[in-house]
Amino acid sequence: MQASAQDDSQSKPATSNTAGAQPAAEGDTEALAKAAQNPVASMISVPLQNNTAFGAGPYDRTLNVLNIQPVIPISISENWNLITRIIQPIVWQPNVSQTSQGWFGLGDMNPTFFFSPAKPSKLIWGVGPNFVIPTATADQLGQGKFSMGPGVVLLTTPGKWVIGTLINNVWSVAGSGSRPPVNQMLLQWFVNYNMKKGWYLASSPIVTANWRASSGNVLTLPFGGGVGRIMKLGNQPVNLLAQLYGNAIYPTGTSPWSMRLQIQFLYPKKP
C-alpha cells in the first residue's frame, strides 16, 4: 500500500502567529489550509499518515501502514521550486492465509521530486521523477526492485475549494532477479472544501493499478472521504485528518475497506 501526502493552495502560504498574538484571521487559516492540501506548496510539512486496511483474506486480517513523509520545498531559481517528498512506510503485513502470522518492519522507500513554478497561475502544477527503493526489511514488505517513472500533479484553488490530481507510474529497472518485475500506477484525485474555524471536508482516494496482475486483480478503486481541521497544538500548526474508504474494485484476497488518519506538522514561512 502506498499513500500520498495530501495525503497535499496558494503560492504564498499563510504565516503562523507570534507568541501572544491574537488567533489568526479566518483568511489566514484558509490560506494555511490550502497550502497544507497542496502537494507542491512552498511550505515545509511533515505528515504522519496511518492507513489501516480491514478484512483482508479469508480470516479478515488487518494490514497497517504508517507513512512518514516529510515535504521540503527547495528554491532552485527565481522561477522554479523543487518539491521533495520521501515516503518511508512502516508496515504490519499479516499472512492473510493464516489466522496469526505476519511481518513487521520497513517497507520500500518512495522518494518523489516535483519541479513547480515558484509563481504559479490559477492552474498549479508540478512534474518530476518518482522512485521506489527496495528498503523493505522482509521480502513480504516490499517488491525487491528499484523502480522509477514520471509523476505529475495538477490542482486549482477556486474560492474555498482545493481540487486536483496526482498521478505516477513506475517500472522496475534493477533488483532481485527472483522477484517479479514492476509496472504499477498510482492516481490520487483530491477535493477539499474549506469551512470556518479551520474545518474542511476532504475526499482523496488513492487508485492503484498493477498492470502485470491477472485479469480482475489489476485495479484497486476506493471511494469515500472524511473531515479535517487546521489548528494549533501549543504553538505548532497542524493539519488533522480522518477518512474512511470502501473499495468498489479490489484484487482477490485484499481489503474491501480502510481508514486513514493523519497528523501533518506545518512550518509556514515567517514574515
Q: How far is CA 153 from the centre of its chain?
A: 12
User: pLDDT digits over 47-96, tens only?
Assistant: 999 999 999 999 999 999 999 999 999 999 999 999 999 999 999 999 99
Maximum distance among all Cα pairs of the chain, rounded to whole angstroms: 60
pLDDT band at 8 (very low <50, low <70, confident <90, very high): very low
CATH code, 26-267: 2.40.160.40
The residues near 52 (Cβ < 8 Å, ≥ 6 apart) are 62, 63, 64, 65, 258, 259, 260, 261
Helices then strands (H, E): number in the chain? 1, 15
Question: Buried (b) or exposed (e) across 22-35, using 16+ Cβ within 10 A?
Answer: eebeeebbbbbbbb
pLDDT for residue 26:
58
pLDDT at 29: 84
Work out whether the CA dihedral 115, 118, 120, 124 comes out positive or negative: positive
**pLDDT given at position 30:** 86
Mean pLDDT to the nearest integer, 29-43: 92
Beta bridge partners, 64, equal 52, 92
CA dist., res. 145 & res. 178, Å (int): 10
Q: Which amino acid is at 21?
A: A
Query: Is it the case that residue 10 has pLDDT exceeding 50?
Result: no
Q: Is the model's pLDDT at 14 over the cut of 60?
A: no
pLDDT digits (tens, 9 = 90+) for 148-190: 999 999 999 999 999 999 999 999 999 989 999 999 999 999 9
Pairing of strands 257-267, 219-233: unpaired
d(C-alpha 100, C-alpha 48), whole Å: 27
**Residues shown for the chain:** 271
User: How far from 166 is each of 182, 206, 263, CA to CA, in Å?
Assistant: 20, 9, 20
Amino acid occupying residue 107: G
Report whether 48 contacts 65 (CB < 8 A). Answer: no
Question: What's the chain's average pLDDT?
Answer: 90
Cell of 97: 492465509
Chain centre to alpha carbon of residue 259:
14
- State mean pLDDT over 195-203: 96
**pLDDT tens digits along 116-154:** 999 888 999 999 999 999 999 999 999 999 999 999 999
Q: Is the pLDDT of residue 7 over 80?
A: no
pLDDT at position 269, please? 83
| Paired strand residues for 82 | 74, 115
pLDDT tens-digit profile of 244-268? 999 999 999 999 999 999 999 999 9
